Amino acid sequence: MRLLTTLTVCCFLFIAGIHMTGCSTATDVHATEAVIQTPSLQCDMCTSKVTKALQAVDGVESVDVNLENKTASISYDPNAVTEMELMAAITNVGYQANDQQADAEAYEKLDACCKMPE
């Protein structure tokens, strides 16, 4: 009888544990989407640099940089990062982000194909 009680309790705890790990709470945060204009993108190398810069930011879940549309679409956790910080990640590697100018020093270090035509 004692063995049966022990097995019943263990099964109950196992099932309760499975149920609890699948639970979500009201504090779960859904990702926020941002589309940032990147008008200074010139080539695939630019796209790669901006993608890597954004992926390195804590809280970024996914990145899609589109050269044709000159946009960066980012899915991110708003509790971990702000849109301004995402824009800073782009400008810090030498590219414009919305109305923010590229960091001049980073821009000067870009390859010639990545610079705006004069």
Confirm whether 100 is domain-assigned: yes
Site of tokens 């109950």: 12
Asked if 2 and 8 count as a contact pair (C-beta separation under 8 A), the reply is no
Per-residue pLDDT of 21-68, as tens digits, reads 444 434 446 899 999 999 999 999 999 999 999 999 999 999 999 999
Per-residue pLDDT of 67-114, as tens digits, reads 999 999 999 999 999 999 999 999 999 999 999 999 999 999 999 999
Domain count, the chain: 1
> What is the token pair recorded at 30?
């859904």
Confirm whether 99 is domain-assigned: yes
Confirm whether 12 is domain-assigned: no
CATH of the domain at 95: 3.30.70.100
Structural domain boundaries, residue 93:
32-107
Confirm whether 21 is domain-assigned: no
